[in-house]
Structure 1
């Protein structure tokens, strides 16, 4: 059984959803440090002028875990987020189908950023018909603190024998630890698909790496699911490493 683990992101992009689709279980890593100016409290949407950030302002102290970070009280971020989405996608083919449930989602009284982000991911997965099981790291038994061993412990607790990493995972993980502890390591290989983007009623040049909202409102749930599932694969890390090593020896 294959497990993927990632920090909860706000309205994530297609590569994030592809990783979910490739996994049997996906864990929201909500008890690690919040990183400012990344994708944990913002993501990108398409506008007539290109793209813009869709941002949830937050209150936090340096070092806070994601589940301790709170949306900023007293700021009209909900209205700004929904207005920006409506302005950009109001004339997209599938926007009206999801408008009411999206408004209900954003308007809930969110306890913390991790809870909000997890809900946006689940909402997108429901819309696209992705049926991967979800878990939240802070609700699971305690793990070792070392980052790679933490991932291994989460996989073990959930009965998974394979960990699915992003393609750059070997640059920062201790890949040998998976062998030592009897887990397989797979890497996600994702190629961004293209699809028609309707911005303010007109189709324009394609802009990749938007929030998955862009795909949902423009392509709809069925075509969107096809693109999400069909745009990435999971390949064993060790086999790739052996192939690359052999190719290197052959050219030397």
Structure 2
């Protein structure tokens, strides 16, 4: 999966379901996508937090791994302030906020992928999710584009099953059921995750926010219980392709 900013619960469901998880960082950046933004709940409404990034050589050649933040923009302080104001009264604020504060104030983090992966791994540790993670750009011997690259990554990590979000089916199976993965004897499964409801600080429940909303409100132990409870049996590619 591409390393996204403050991912939602389903992202961690995917990580928790896998034996090995790969951050696909050496792919094209989409400035309007979840690579650079995500939502929290502020009062009774959702609030979008967006990271300003620089693409001096143009968006067409910018990848997640080589994209840097706009250094003059005080977005880190603004994001931390928004998070603090939104969750100061949440039950697990004093437990989680210092972890985020330490990452946002780390001036050595200047690249988008670096920040996103740091946050995701820190939240995994906070939830005691122990799935081994790898960074695609650091894997040797990986080649190809699109689903051929996925095949190469699976071969490098000696994996014969590939778990994907269902939203990637059209991408994987553009040419044939299961795509290049199945052609190379790698079975494809699609994630089944139903977003649960949980207590939130104010107002009616808002779904599909960053995982930190759930963590601030019910804590790491109960969040993982929700992830496990609402992660269904993964669907084999043939069940969706016929």
Would you call these one fold, judging by a TM-score over 0.5? Answer: yes
Superposed, which structure 2 residues align to 1:12-161 within 5 Å? 12-60=7-55, 61-63=58-60, 64-109=62-107, 110-161=109-160
What is the Cα deviation at residue 67 of structure 1?
1.0
Q: Deviations over 1:205-230 (max 9, x none)?
A: 10000000000000111101101222
TM-score normalised by L of structure 1 = 0.89
CA distance in 2, matches of 1:156, 1:44: 35
What is the Cα deviation at residue 71 of structure 1?
1.1
Q: Is the 8 A contact 2:9 2:227 kept in 1?
A: yes
Q: Deviations over 1:128-149 (max 9, x none)?
A: 1111110000000243333111
Q: Is the 8 A contact 2:93 2:216 kept in 1?
A: yes
Higher strand fraction: Structure 1 or Structure 2?
A: 1
* SS in structure 2 of the partner of residue 66 of structure 1: coil
What are structure 1's unaligned runs of at least 5 residues? 1-5, 246-252
- Give aligned pairs, total: 234
Is 1:169 the equivalent of 2:161?
Answer: no
What is the Cα deviation at residue 179 of structure 1?
2.4
Q: Is the 8 A contact 1:94 1:216 kept in 2?
A: yes
What is the Cα deviation at residue 8 of structure 1?
0.5
Question: Greater Rg, structure 1 or structure 2?
Answer: 1
Q: Is the 8 A contact 1:163 1:183 kept in 2?
A: yes
Give the direction of change, closer, same or farther, for the CA distance of 1:86–1:185 in structure 2 (3 Å limit): same
Q: Is the 8 A contact 2:69 2:111 kept in 1?
A: yes
Q: Deviations over 1:102-161 (max 9, x none)?
A: 111111121310000001111111111111110000000243333111011101101111
Q: Which runs of 4+ in 1 moved over 6 A?
A: none
Is 1:237 the equivalent of 2:232?
Answer: no
Is 1:193 the equivalent of 2:196?
Answer: yes
TM-score normalised by L of structure 2 = 0.92
